[in-house]
């Protein structure tokens, strides 16, 4: 959330497949909620968010400490439309 805000995004939707973390964000995330014009925390089952699952797996296997994409990376493009169906 801090990085998102630092990059200037003010209308955001955070999605995740970790229900416990999502519940925590609904509580402790309240501090950050006021920093955004519009913010939503959504729980999504892994099956309904295949793109996030791919990104998480790529992050685990990467030697980089972090990655930032300003547009959809090529390796993810084939899966984007499939996630939109859910």
Query: What's the rounded mean pLDDT across residues 38-61?
Result: 85
Counting the structural domains of the chain, the total is 1
- Which of 9-23, 25-39, 42-56 has the least mean pLDDT? 25-39
Query: Model-level pTM?
Result: 0.64
Quote the CA–CA distance of 3 and 9 in Å, as a whole number: 9
Q: 59 is in which domain, residue-wise? A: 2-85
pLDDT given at position 74: 92
Quote the CA–CA distance of 13 and 27 in Å, as a whole number: 16
């Amino acid at each position: 959330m801090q990085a998102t805000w630092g990059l200037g995004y003010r209308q955001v939707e955070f999605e995740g497949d970790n229900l416990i973390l999502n519940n925590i964000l609904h509580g402790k995330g309240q501090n950050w909620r006021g920093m955004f014009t519009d913010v939503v925390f959504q729980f999504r089952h892994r099956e309904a968010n295949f793109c996030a699952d791919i990104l998480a797996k790529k992050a685990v296997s990467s030697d980089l400490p972090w990655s930032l994409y300003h547009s959809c990376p090529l390796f993810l493009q084939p899966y984007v439309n499939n996630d939109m169906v859910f």
